[in-house]
Structure formats: structure tokens, C-alpha cells
Amino acid sequence: MKVGDTHYRSIWFDGEAGRVRIIDQRWLPHEFRVVEIESLDEFATAIRDMWVRGAPLIGATAAYGIAMEMHRNASDAALDAAWELLHETRPTAINLRWALEEMRQVLAPLSEGERAAVAFRKAAEICDADVETNRMIGVHGLDLVKQIAATKKPGEPVNILTHCNAGWLATVDWGTATSPMYHAVQAGIPIHVWVDETRPRNQGAQLTAWEMNSHGIPHHLLTDNAGGHLMQHGQVDMVIVGTDRTTALGDVCNKIGTYLKALAAQDNDVPFYVALPSSTIDWTVEDGVREIPIEERDDREVTHVFGRLDNGSVTSVQISPDGTPGGNPAFDVTPARLVTGLITERGVAEASREGLLGLFPERRSAA
Ligand SMILES: CSC[C@H]1O[C@H](OP(=O)(O)O)[C@H](O)[C@@H]1O
């Protein structure tokens, strides 16, 4: 999407330089840094340390990590080692395993000499497919925004609350939760976005707010605890969030705090939608609370906060006493019963097995 007047994707391959480039999201919104990643360790670090993040982008990055490794060493051992190293970077987003499996399936049968070129083509395909998938999520999500817009007074915006960043920065482009927002603006439908800051890493404050600013979308930054109050006072018309892994029964794993928003939404009859590509559905899992591994991240993310000082330098400061440990589960699971609908590239599904199989009937045999 747009950065100033320039269109960017969050990751791209420069064929002439033979380098993969990413936007290093750790420095946003204060600095826009594009960095090259080349070695397998650099790819693993970029995912683990959240230079790039967001389920679809994590998958796309891993795909290019495999491609760059095949360029260096296309042996079976190197392919397996790369798969393992990248897979263990972050446990929750299913797109990581999905992308690694996509790469392994296409590469394993090939000779070593064939693998690098095919790997780069497949990684590019995964990226291009993600862009089109997310565009279609926006097309289907736009219908939902239009339905709510029809109930508003002329010119009154549709108030949408979102949590964390499920924007174009979390994908290759368009985003998932933000795609309906971008499509609504393009369709001339007035919207206003409540942006949850999303502690501890503040992906909402740092990334979603930056996206909204970059596209001139009216928004306000919220503390994570304000959404319920706004819902009680009729200031939220709908919630749209992303997901890192959704189960075959429609349970939704997403950034920590999502579950609490879903509870508040149900208590106030606010529609709670989850936008996702089908690559984020884990068809092998049914009970999300019991089965989805929740990443526990460094407690320094809780005890410290990252930002820009008045002198313009960007740094991290401690907000808690020395010696106070932090707890940092990075995700939670929202049961399907709290989800109004799942916005996918094929349409909006009820959050249930039958709802998902209705859009993805090819999965019925495995069910
Ligand atoms: C479109 S996936 C976005 C999803 O990923 C984020 O997690 P993280 O920033 O830790 O990778 C968050 O859960 C978003 O909803």
C-alpha cells in the first residue's frame, strides 16, 4: 500500500541484486527502514524478532527464506534444516507451517539443480496470491460495511474497531482486517477506525495508526481497555480483527486481548468479524483454547515500552520496577460462539465447521 506517494509491498525480491527486501517494522512509525535479508539465520531472526510479523507475512518471509537457502545449498539436508529452523521461530501463526509445507511439497521431488529457480517462483506465487486473496477479503468485507453504512445518517461514518495490526504490514499487501476499510474508502463510504494500541508491543499504535495516517483514514488511538466502554455507548458499529490461526470449527486465535473485545462486543450486540485468508485455517485443529500453541514472548516486551524521545531518538524505556517479572502470552483464542462471521477470500462464513466447509467444500472429505 502507500508510503507517501510510493506503492510498497511489505516484502519483495530484487532479482537484479538477488536480495529479498523487507520493511523492518520494528522502527515504525518513527523510521521507515527497508533492509535486505540474505542468510537463513537472518530470515529466522527477522521472523523471531518481529522485523516482519503478521501471519501471512511470516509465511511469505519463510518462503523466501527457503528460496534463498536453496540458492546457497539445495541439498535435501539443507532443505530440511531450513524448514526446521524457520518453523521453530514462532509457534502460533499457522501460515508459517503452511508456507513451509507449500515450499517443501514443490521442492522435495526436484533435483538439486532445479530447486532454486522453482523456489523463487513459488515464493513469488505465494506473495502474489496473498495480495489477491486479501483484496478479495476486502471485496467481501465491503458488503458488510455497506450494510452498516445503510443504517447510518448521511455522512455519518461507520465506526470500526480493530485490534493489533492486521493491515497491509501484516500481509504482503492490502491486509486482512484493513482490506475492507481500504475498500470502503475507495467506495466513498465514510468510516472511522478505533485503533487499539495493543500492548505489549503496540502494533496498533505503531503500525495500524501509521497505516491509517498514510491513507488519510479518520481514526483514533485507544488504550486497550477503552473499547468496551465505547461499545456500551454505541460508538462502535462493528469490530474487524485478523487472526493467526483459526480452527476447523471457527475458533479464532489472535493477538492477546482479542478475546476480551469479543466478550464486550457480544455483551453490547456489536458484530464481531474476523478477516482471514484460508491459509490461516488450521483444518487439523478443532478446540482452539486447548489445541493452539500460544507463544510466550520475552517479558521485556511487558516491562518496557518502545518509542521516540523528545530529542527524536528512538529507544525502549522501562515502565516497571527492577526485578518485577512480566507475563507475556502473545495470543488468545476467541471461541466461535463469539464470532459473528469469518470474512474470507471466498465470502463471509458462519464461524462453524459447516460455515467454513460451505465456502471450502474441497475440505469436506478430510473433515
Ligand atoms: C493478518 S495476521 C495479523 C495478526 O498477526 C499479529 O500478530 P503478530 O504481530 O504477533 O505477528 C496479530 O495477531 C494480528 O491480528
Atom 7 of ligand 1, residue of closest alpha carbon: 54
pLDDT of 4 reads 86
Q: Are residues 144 and 123 in the same domain?
A: no
Q: Are residues 60 and 179 in the same domain?
A: no
Q: Which of 196, 244, 251, 282 is catalytic?
A: 244
Question: Is 76 marked active-site?
Answer: no
Average pLDDT on 91-107 reads 98
- Is the distance from the beta carbon of residue 170 to the nearest atom of ligand 1 less than 6 Å? yes
Q: Are residues 275 and 220 in the same domain?
A: yes
Residue 143: pLDDT band with limits 50, 70, 90: very high
Domain boundary among 91, 108, 129: 129
- Is the distance from the beta carbon of residue 200 to the nearest atom of ligand 1 less than 6 Å? no
Q: Are residues 123 and 146 in the same domain?
A: no
Average pLDDT on 24-32 reads 97
Cα 62 to Cα 35: distance, rounded to the nearest angstrom: 16
**Residues in Cβ contact with 202 at an 8 Å cutoff, skipping those fewer than 6 apart:** 305, 306
Q: Which three cell numbers stand for residue 344?
A: 474470507
- Is the distance from the beta carbon of residue 176 to the nearest atom of ligand 1 less than 6 Å? yes
Q: Are residues 195 and 287 in the same domain?
A: yes
Q: How far is the CA of 74 from the centre of ligand 1 (A)?
A: 31
Range of the domain at 31: 2-129
pTM more than 0.80:
yes
Domain boundary among 129, 162, 196: 129
The pLDDT tens digits of the residues spanning 303-331 come to: 999 999 999 999 999 999 999 999 999 99
Average pLDDT on 264-280 reads 98
The ipTM assigned to this model is 0.98
Residues annotated in a binding site for substrate = 53-55, 90, 203, 254-255
The angle, 0 to 180 degrees and rounded to 10, between the axes of the packed helices 40-48 and 55-72 is: 170
User: Which residue of 26, 49, 53 sits with most ligand 1 atoms within 8 Å of its CB, as the best mutation to test the pocket?
Assistant: 53
- Is the distance from the beta carbon of residue 208 to the nearest atom of ligand 1 less than 6 Å? no
pLDDT of 366 reads 67
* Ligand 1 atom showing the smallest separation from residue 175 Cα: 1
Q: Are residues 81 and 121 in the same domain?
A: yes
Q: Are residues 182 and 256 in the same domain?
A: yes
Which residue is associated with the grid cell 494500541? 197
Cα 356 to Cα 90: distance, rounded to the nearest angstrom: 26
Q: Of the candidates 137, 41, 121, 115, which has an alpha carbon nearest to the alpha carbon of residue 85?
A: 41
Please give the tally of structural domains in the chain. 2
Cα 75 to Cα 124: distance, rounded to the nearest angstrom: 21
Domain boundary among 82, 109, 129: 129
* pLDDT value at 97 more than 70: yes
Q: Are residues 29 and 160 in the same domain?
A: no
Q: Are residues 147 and 206 in the same domain?
A: yes
Q: Are residues 295 and 348 in the same domain?
A: yes
Q: H helices within 150-198, ranges in order?
A: 178-186
Q: What CATH number should be reported for the domain holding residue 346?
A: 3.40.50.10470
Number of neighbouring beta carbons within 10 Å of residue 92: 20
Q: What CATH number should be reported for the domain holding residue 106?
A: 1.20.120.420
Q: Are residues 191 and 85 in the same domain?
A: no
Q: Are residues 161 and 13 in the same domain?
A: no
* pLDDT value at 365 more than 90: no
Average pLDDT on 140-157 reads 97
